[in-house]
Amino acid sequence: MQRSKYMETLKGGYAVSFEISPIWREAFSLAWDAFCRGSVPVGCVVVDGEDRILARGQNAIYDDEIRTPLAGTNLAHAEMVALSKLRNSEHNPRLYTLYTTLEPCPMCFGAIAMMGIKQVRYAARDAMAGSAALTAATPYLRSKCIHLEWEDSPLEVFQIALATAFELNRKHPKQQQLLELWESDCPVGVHVGTALYQRGDFHTAVRERWEFEQVFARVMTNSANVREIGRGGGLYEDSAF
């Protein structure tokens, strides 16, 4: 699969490059668009066996204007929006793979099961609402044989950084609990998301209509300057951060 390279030069003058596949690029572009439009930053694409994109979705729970009948409702999660575009008369979801930037919640996991999707890949774990564990929750769900795969890549850092910035801005009552749970899996993502939010980088990116690649490179560059100390999740920032 063709991969794109993105580069950003650090303060010290050396460059860091990152690669991302076209499918993940599309999913994260949708997540970034959702962020810019004031909804939860999650994106989703469904592909066939030849990696052709058949359906796209982005979270639109606060977005009445985006084109989906679910817009502006609590059903408008990225996965639900994408799955709602697959017609029984045209599609065979059993052969498809769903890519989502964040581990599916119980609602989306249920929809994935009922649609007959067998393969799911997600970029970031969600210790709050993530429901990958439901694959074995009941005899019925076990019979579905859904294979969920966490990608274990820098994409998790980007997703958690973006989601952290969104939650700091949204000021949800469960914000602290949410950030602590995400930090348990991905401390760098929460740390970088918080730092860039407080520095105003996300506001600048939205105001100046940055493309996904530009935001991705900014988050990754700053992540490269942070390293974990020990298993306790403590973080160290070097002078370039």
Q: Which residues are catalytic?
A: 79
Q: Which of 107, 45, 53, 122 shows the shortest CA–CA distance to 82? A: 45
Angle (nearest 5°) at CA 38 between 187 and 6 = 55
Position among 108, 115, 146, 190 found at the interface with Zn ion (CB under 5 A): 108
Residue (46 or 105) nearer to Zn ion, CB: 105
The secondary element (H helix, E strand) that includes residue 220 is: helix 212-223
Give the range of 28-36, 101-109, 132-140, 189-197 binding Zn ion by CB under 5 A: 101-109
Using rule CB under 5 A, residue 102 touches Zn ion: no
Residue (79 or 201) nearer to Zn ion, CB: 79
Give the range of 60-68, 95-103, 107-115, 233-241 binding Zn ion by CB under 5 A: 107-115
Residue (86 or 105) nearer to Zn ion, CB: 105
Give the DSSP letter of residue 127. T
Please state the closest distance from residue 108 (CB atom) to Zn ion, in A: 3
Is residue 132 within 8 Å of residue 148, measured between CB atoms? yes
* # of chain residues touching Zn ion (CB under 5 A): 3
Q: Which two tokens stand for residue 74?
A: 């609590």
Residue (59 or 222) nearer to Zn ion, CB: 59
Give the range of 102-110, 133-141, 143-151, 171-179 binding Zn ion by CB under 5 A: 102-110
Kindly report the backbone phi and psi dihedral angles of residue 148, in degrees, each rounded to the nearest multiple of 5, phi listed first. Answer: -105, 135
How far apart are the C-alpha atoms of 199 and 9, rounded to whole Å?
A: 19
Residue (146 or 205) nearer to Zn ion, CB: 146
Is 187 strand, coil or helix?
helix
Q: Other C-beta atoms within 10 Å of 94: how many? A: 10
Position among 18, 30, 70, 77 found at the interface with Zn ion (CB under 5 A): 77
Please state the closest distance from residue 47 (CB atom) to Zn ion, in A: 19
Position among 34, 70, 86, 105 found at the interface with Zn ion (CB under 5 A): 105
Interacting residues of 36 by C-beta distance below 8 A, sequence separation 6+: 206, 209
Kindly report the backbone phi and psi dihedral angles of residue 73, in degrees, each rounded to the nearest multiple of 5, phi listed first. Answer: -115, 165
Please state the closest distance from residue 107 (CB atom) to Zn ion, in A: 5
Q: Which chain residues interact with Zn ion by CB under 5 A?
A: 77, 105, 108
